[in-house]
A and B are shown apart, each in its own frame.
Chain A
Amino acid sequence: MINSKQTPNKNSSNNVRIEYQEVGKSFNNRGQDGLEENIVAVKNVNLTVNDGEVVSLIGPSGCGKSTLLNMGSGLYQPTVGEVFIDQEKVDKPNSHVGFMLQKDLLLPWRNIRENVEFGLEINGTNSSQRKKRSSELLEKCRLSGFENHYPHQLSGGMRQRAALARTMATEPRVLLMDEPFSALDAQTKMILQQDLAETLFSENKTALFITHDLTESVALSDRVFVMSQRPGTIIEQIDIDLPLRENPMARRHDLQKEVGEYVAQLMTLLNVDELAIQEEV
């Protein structure tokens, strides 16, 4: 994709997939006293994610991480500033952005295949193509043989894999993920991280990934953005200068020391130690 209007620079700007420009969002909330109060969730957020990059977003709870992601997906609009995906201003949900949440949100009345085909059905893909695509993805997500099962018959990890397959089915170029693995147990989580990292790498997807798990953010990403308390803004950007982004298991395993150092750095930025002391008092 060459955009002649843009002057190429070092990070050739048509290489940028996700861009937040001076984004701020505030909500009107009726407080307990019945008075309207304006809550600023995020402010002055600037960030860019380049093609094929995986970037994590970490920060204290309630700092507006999810708000940022929702604006990226077009579910709601920023109060100030603009969000661009593929140089296109996001003003409504957009089919080349995939969205994934902590909840798998599989529809209980659809079997696994039908769930995976959900997005394809919405965009009007015909049934033979849908079937081909879903078979391919179920195979890749190791869910072959479970096509006709219903969500309640599957384990949490399998359900989240099905949700990943559903997200990938519409072939989004950009993935926005809001703590997709935080409801899973530690082992399942690592396996799914591995699956995700491999998929993102082999298909050269761009991803913005919210997590609470600092190790996860280091193991999976090229870069980590650190956000402040509300009103959330990005206070630091850390490049994870490690190999093996496609293999988080190996990163955790073979690069323990380096990963540990990054985690320690993130802990300092988030004041985790101090907060722990405050909690105890």
Chain B
Amino acid sequence: MNLEKLKLNIISSGLWAGLAFAVFFLILWEWGPVFFEIPPYIIPSASSVFIEFTRAIETEKLFWHAGITFLETIAGFVIGSLLGMSVGYILGVSPKAEFVFSPYILALQIAPKVAFAPLFVLWFGFTVYPKILVAVLIVFFPIMVNVLGAIRTVDPDMINLARTFNASRWQIFKMIEFRDAMPPLFSGLRIGSTLAIIGVVVGEMVGGSIGLGAILVFAEGAGNTALAFVSIIMLTIVGIIVYGAVILLERRVLHYLPRSEYNGI
């Protein structure tokens, strides 16, 4: 079909443009600092970052640290999501519970979660737990808020429909509310997946010697800007993996939505 062809055209021309931009960006990164006389400890060139990257793999156990960060992020994201979903569903179906707990939840939501990181390090030491905990806290809110909102806005006629079939409260939840809240849940999961890594990295920066956050702090202390760049790039990659996993899951679960309802990226 014509539309398909058009779409392919856009994709292929977009691919070329994207590739061209990447090359341009790398050239700028490599020779820009030299051209503008920016010293390497401010912006190291692309090649020196790459060399630092290969060095860090061998001598700094970069992949091991990245793996730790990755697992902490996954753990924080999964636990935070499950918690956010559960609380969202519970408050969603019980207005009384929402009335009782909403002030506390609001307070916790407004409190900057990363500020808890030093406290958690104090409690749990230089282990992985404070990092996971900060991620859990950060991930929790967007997911809970989305689920809660979704449960509240389920079309009452849909619920009445189930009721006219004599559905039990549990069936209404399982067959209507839970499913109807899926698209907003996934919007929350997308946001949460990008936030999880922030929580983890702050935790790592505050205490301990493991994970990419610790490498970042070490690089900063040693004046090794290239290593800081490497850590940031690795952190971004970890974030992209988690986000990508959410997107893949979303496509599988929300396959029934018309295509146009997919957001880009």
Contact = CB atoms under 8 A, between A and B. Distances in A.
Given A121-B175, A122-B171, A122-B175, A105 B158 contact: yes
B174 to A, nearest CB: 10
A97 B180 CA distance: 25
Given A75-B163, A122-B166, A107 B171 contact: no
A98 B162 CA distance: 11
B164 A99 contact: yes
Contacts of A93: 163-166
Contacts of A73: 164
A192 to B, nearest CB: 19
B260 to A, nearest CB: 10
Contact of B166 (A110, A123, A152): A123
A94 interface: yes
A130 to B, nearest CB: 13
B256 interface: yes
A109 B166 contact: no
A111 B256 CA distance: 8
Interface in B152-182: 155, 157-158, 160-167, 171, 175-176, 179-180, 182
Contact of B160 (A75, A107, A108, A170): A75
B165 A105 contact: no
A75 B164 contact: yes
A121 B166 CA distance: 11
A122 B165 contact: yes
Contacts of B179: 107, 109
Given A103-B157, A122-B175, A108 B256 contact: yes
B258 interface: yes
B257 interface: yes
A184 interface: no
A107 B176 contact: yes
Of B157, B164, B175, B180, most A-chain CB atoms within 10 Å: B164
A168 B160 CA distance: 17
29 contacts: A74-B164, A75-B163, A75-B164, A93-B166, A95-B165, A95-B166, A97-B164, A101-B157, A101-B161, A103-B157, A105-B155, A105-B157, A105-B158, A105-B161, A107-B158, A107-B175, A107-B176, A108-B256, A108-B257, A109-B179, A109-B180, A109-B182, A118-B175, A122-B162, A122-B166, A122-B175, A150-B256, A152-B256, A152-B258
Contacts of A150: 256
Given A108-B256, A109-B179, A152-B258, A94 B157 contact: no
A119 interface: yes
Nearest to B163: A93
A74 B161 CA distance: 11
Nearest to B171: A122
A150 to B, nearest CB: 5
